[in-house]
Structure 1
Amino acid sequence: MMVAFFGSFTHLPVNAEPSNYKFDFGNGEVEKGYVGVSATEKYDEKKRYGFNTPEDMINVPASGSGVASDAVQFLEYGTKSDNTFNVDLPNGLYEVKVTLGDAFRVSVAAEEVYQVINMTGNNATDSFQIPITDGQLNLLITEGKVGTNFTLSALEINKLSRHPETKRTIYIGGDSTVANYYPLDSSIQAGWGQLFPQFVDPETFEVRNMASGGQIARGFKDDGQLEAILKYIKPGDYFILQLGINDTNPKNTTTEAQFKEYMREMVQQVKAKGATVVLSTPQGRASDFNADGVHTSVNRWYRHSIIALAQEENVPLIDLNVLSSAYFSSIGPEATLALYMNGDTLHPNRAGATELARLVAEELKRQGLDGFTGDKEKNTNKTF
């Protein structure tokens, strides 16, 4: 059990160190098999875990059951904050699973960059893989929406490899039509990035969806999402980037020329890391049918600049705008509308996001990029 391991952790030989760590946060009853951690518990070298600045933490109740019945709240936050929960870990590759307390919208940061973007809802769970190279995980719950509570109920850490190297990874950037929604396996609304792992060979790739609702090119570039990708992306990885919908909104004051240059800067930074960049145009609205029953939206969302940029930077292009229109035309207006949220012609539901993800994967496979199965029934990969 975890308590026994941590109690004598410093006296164990290296090969006896645990490969699984489970923490139950808050001041309530501790779930069996977990280490209980109160907000007041400061990091201790002998215990090898604890909060760096417990004065900036408080215990709070939570509405879930078991480990999710209580939580801790982070009063100080931000990806660069030192108000972290620290765990000493031998260098290697780990999978980290977080369970929130009561929370509206939060993100998870570790090693001073975002790891999960905009988890929503009480007791939401998500996982990510992270290489540890300095002997310690430093994690905190931070902004999804400023002014809400940032809480953590439970943390589970599993060692995957003693080598601190991620497997090949597909990173995805985008907006609300691409982003994750919670619970990940049953949400009504979904982005195509959330369903994309169904079409990816899990033996080849992990999928890391860094898209978020309302995002624009300037925000993705400057507000931490690109920074997280650049920290980890490497040769053999892919970065699929789809933006433009929100950039065209007048409130964001982004001209098409500015949008193109923000996108170019991101493309060039990722290319400099040796990874493959793929640009994608956004799909249109469900209502974009003409009088002849043909779906077309080729003039939406700065599409022409995305196509031009892909040609100028010599990177693969997925013209999802045209691919989705062809599919929508084939099934007709009524069936197309059924792939979107009720009363919403822009945001896909789970079925719609699945079809968009399929189109993206099929096009990548057609262009000769490896790692795509095209068979969601045989794929159990998940998104991180």
Structure 2
Amino acid sequence: MKRNVGLMAVVFVVVLAAWAESFPAQPAGAEPSHYRFDFGDGDVEKGYIGIKASDRYTEKQRYGFNTPEHMINVPASGTGVASDAVQFVTYGTKSDNTFQVDLPNGLYEVKVTLGNTTRASVAAEGVYQIINMTGNNAVDSFQIPITDGQLNLLVTEGKAGTNFTLSALEINKLSRHPVTNRTVYIGGDSTVCNYYPLDSSIQAGWGQLFPSFVDSGTFLVRNMASGGQIARGFRNDGQLEAILKYIKPGDYFLLEMGINDTNPKNTTTEAQFKEYMRDMVQQVKSKGATPVLVTPQGRATDFNAEGVHSSVNRWYRASTLALAQEENVPLVDLNVLSSAYFTEIGPEATLALYMKGDTLHPNRSGAEVLARLVAEDLKRQGLDGFTGERKPGADPAVPNRPQ
């Protein structure tokens, strides 16, 4: 009996060895493709690598801060990995005060958890990746191609005067090919941008809810809109730069501007607005991607005495329509589409789609309605990847289009 047991053990070892040899061996010293980091000087959460502000990058360790003398440990108000953080004392998209991680070239998903902050953005590889994460312990993620063997990331503006903090970072390799998936990039203002928490915020921009109406098997959505933004600022202050770094043939760039451009404090004439928009359209076209112009929706109270909603003379709409024709690019006239929808549902139901006491900014339900209207029109125009239908699991409280 003992001999049989011994023979069986030998056979098992031989079979196991043969099975193991069928897998490619990892080269000695190969960089890992997956990481979870817990930042700050508190307890380290199980399954995470603890990183303090003083931890300097070394080639041997393969991760750490490039200039730890410009980092400090700070508390945070969350739990687990969000109970502490590090603060970037120096910052900026071009700053070398970054957290560095050696990674094999490929496509990665990076999940970011901030510490305590009012409004902060995430930059990597010298450009913005996430715009204006708001509130303590905000969470968001992005895809990024790594082509030089290293991720360089920091937390930055945001809003000047607030702390730019980082509580946790998760990095997962998606593909060995360093190319982003087909992507819909979105530019716009406070009626378009993200609000946090992304899955439960009361206020929302239509760009935040737009992924519900996009075929996720075809597209990734990157919302680069920000509150208060104007065409000149979007072009000049880093948001367009980030899009141009990655956009490629097959991608879309949806651009809605005009609300803030018409505010006298921004000193933008309609002629200037049109040329700023033209420049962005042409730069995106030069990358082989497809720009799509979108006009802003009106206010909740834009009803006349007959109960018809209309705001067609607002926010440089005429110039946006003319530009779409001159540059031969698709146009989604959300201004008119939303007015038709609001007229259908009436003043009271329309007001319920906006923030309380605010006739300009949509709430979550309103943002999803606007996102659907945009997607429906893109589908109608024959642009691929847009369903115009709410995905399973979307907010059931959002009203459907009247039949």
TM-score (norm 2): 0.90
1:59 has 2:76 as partner = no
Name the residue aligned to 1:139: 153
Greater mean alpha carbon deviation, residues 348-357 or residues 366-375: 366-375
Paired residues for 1:122-271 under 5 Å: 122-271=136-285
Given that residues 33 and 104 in structure 2 are in contact (C-alpha distance below 8 angstroms), is that contact kept between their aligned partners in structure 1? no
1:356 has 2:401 as partner = no
**1:160 aligned counterpart, secondary structure:** strand
**1:241 aligned counterpart, secondary structure:** strand
Q: Distance in 2 between matches of 1:193 and 1:305?
A: 22
The alpha-carbon deviation at position 374 of structure 1 amounts to 2.3
Task: State the structure with bigger RCO (CA 8 A, min sep 6), 1 or 2.
Answer: 1
**1:377 aligned counterpart, secondary structure:** coil
Given that residues 119 and 144 in structure 1 are in contact (C-alpha distance below 8 angstroms), is that contact kept between their aligned partners in structure 2? yes
Name the residue aligned to 1:80: 94
The alpha-carbon deviation at position 275 of structure 1 amounts to 0.1
Q: Distance in 2 between matches of 1:316 and 1:86?
A: 40
**2:45 aligned counterpart, secondary structure:** coil
Q: Distance in 2 between matches of 1:135 and 1:192?
A: 36
Given that residues 198 and 379 in structure 1 are in contact (C-alpha distance below 8 angstroms), is that contact kept between their aligned partners in structure 2? no
Give 5+ residue unaligned stretches, structure 2.
1-24, 395-403
Q: Distance in 2 between matches of 1:377 and 1:246?
A: 32
Deviations 1:353-384 (A, max 9, x none): 0000000000000000000122223378xxxx
**1:298 aligned counterpart, secondary structure:** coil
Given that residues 201 and 379 in structure 1 are in contact (C-alpha distance below 8 angstroms), is that contact kept between their aligned partners in structure 2? no
| One-letter amino acid of the structure 2 residue matched with residue 180 of structure 1 | N
| One-letter amino acid of the structure 2 residue matched with residue 294 of structure 1 | V
Deviations 1:268-315 (A, max 9, x none): 000000000000000000000001000000000000000000000000
Deviations 1:135-176 (A, max 9, x none): 000000001000110000000000000000011000000000
- Which of 21, 34, 50 pairs up with 2:64? 50
Name the residue aligned to 1:366: 380
1:31 has 2:45 as partner = yes
Given that residues 40 and 55 in structure 1 are in contact (C-alpha distance below 8 angstroms), is that contact kept between their aligned partners in structure 2? yes
- Which of 297, 311, 318 pairs up with 1:283? 297
Name the residue aligned to 2:19: none
**1:87 aligned counterpart, secondary structure:** strand
Paired residues for 1:297-316 under 5 Å: 297-316=311-330
Q: Distance in 1 between matches of 2:197 and 2:284?
A: 30
Q: Distance in 2 between matches of 1:147 and 1:195?
A: 29
Deviations 1:167-204 (A, max 9, x none): 10000000000000000000000000000000000000
Name the residue aligned to 2:21: none
Given that residues 302 and 311 in structure 2 are in contact (C-alpha distance below 8 angstroms), is that contact kept between their aligned partners in structure 1? yes
Cα RMSD between the aligned structures?
1.3
Higher Rg of the two aligned structures = 2
Deviations 1:317-350 (A, max 9, x none): 0000000000000000000000000000000000
Greater mean alpha carbon deviation, residues 17-26 or residues 216-225: 17-26
**1:140 aligned counterpart, secondary structure:** strand
Q: Distance in 2 between matches of 1:114 and 1:378?
A: 31
Given that residues 57 and 73 in structure 1 are in contact (C-alpha distance below 8 angstroms), is that contact kept between their aligned partners in structure 2? yes
The alpha-carbon deviation at position 17 of structure 1 amounts to 4.9
Q: Distance in 2 between matches of 1:14 and 1:121?
A: 43
Q: Distance in 2 between matches of 1:183 and 1:143?
A: 19
Structure 1 stretches of at least 4 aligned residues deviating more than 2 Å after TM superposition? 14-19, 377-380
Give 5+ residue unaligned stretches, structure 1.
1-10
**1:36 aligned counterpart, secondary structure:** strand
**2:140 aligned counterpart, secondary structure:** strand
1:342 has 2:356 as partner = yes
Q: Distance in 1 between matches of 2:295 and 2:116?
A: 36
Given that residues 36 and 47 in structure 2 are in contact (C-alpha distance below 8 angstroms), is that contact kept between their aligned partners in structure 1? yes
Q: Distance in 2 between matches of 1:299 and 1:14?
A: 66
- Which of 290, 293, 317 pairs up with 2:331? 317
Name the residue aligned to 2:6: none
**2:391 aligned counterpart, secondary structure:** helix
